[in-house]
């Protein structure tokens, strides 16, 4: 129960900071995308832990967005990728799935093609931590 509470607090703080950063005019659109995607992944993980269900983050077939869903395909959120950013076919993952304990079902990388080059999202084995690499 403590883990769920900690994850919910971390998700809330992350979402609040991402929301505040979104209002600041800057050229960091790709950075905001990274932070938003991380926050969405944390939110989905918290949802699976709190409700003891499976959750999935699936990228659209055209590679221009993603959908976070819970059990029975309940859509939790839907996001478009920033202009010029698409999911590449070269990664080892096409989606991220969390089990009811908050762990990922598979680990690997998701590659994004961006105007500034390739961006890699690494999904680490075990606890479902993610990191970006340029």
Biggest CA-to-CA distance, the chain: 42
Asked if 54 contacts 100 with a C-beta cutoff of 8 angstroms, the reply is yes
Is pLDDT at 14 greater than 70 in this prediction? no
Strand-by-strand arrangement of the 95-98 sheet: 75-80, 65-69, 55-59, 95-98
pLDDT at position 25: 37
pTM for this entry: 0.77
Each residue's pLDDT tens digit, 42-59: 999 999 999 999 999 999
Q: Residues 111, 118: contact at Cβ < 8 Å? A: yes
pLDDT at 13: 55
The label of the residue with tokens 């938003």 reads: 36
- Kindly give the residue spans of alpha helices, DSSP state H, lying in 23-60: 29-51
Q: At residue 41, does pLDDT exceed 60?
A: yes
Neighbour tally for 56: CB within 10 Å: 19
């Amino acid at each position: 129960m403590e883990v769920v509470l900690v994850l919910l607090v971390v998700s809330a703080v992350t979402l609040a900071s991402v929301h505040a950063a979104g209002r600041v005019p800057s050229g960091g659109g790709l950075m905001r995308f990274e932070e938003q995607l991380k926050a969405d992944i944390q939110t989905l993980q918290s949802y699976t832990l709190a409700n003891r269900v499976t959750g999935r983050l699936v990228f659209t077939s055209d590679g221009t967005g993603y959908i976070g869903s819970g059990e029975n395909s309940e859509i939790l959120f839907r996001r478009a990728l920033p202009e010029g950013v698409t999911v590449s076919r070269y990664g080892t993952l096409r989606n991220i799935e969390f089990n009811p304990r908050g762990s990922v079902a598979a680990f690997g990388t998701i590659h994004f093609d961006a105007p500034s080059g390739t961006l890699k999202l690494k999904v680490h084995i075990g606890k479902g931590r993610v990191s970006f690499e340029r």
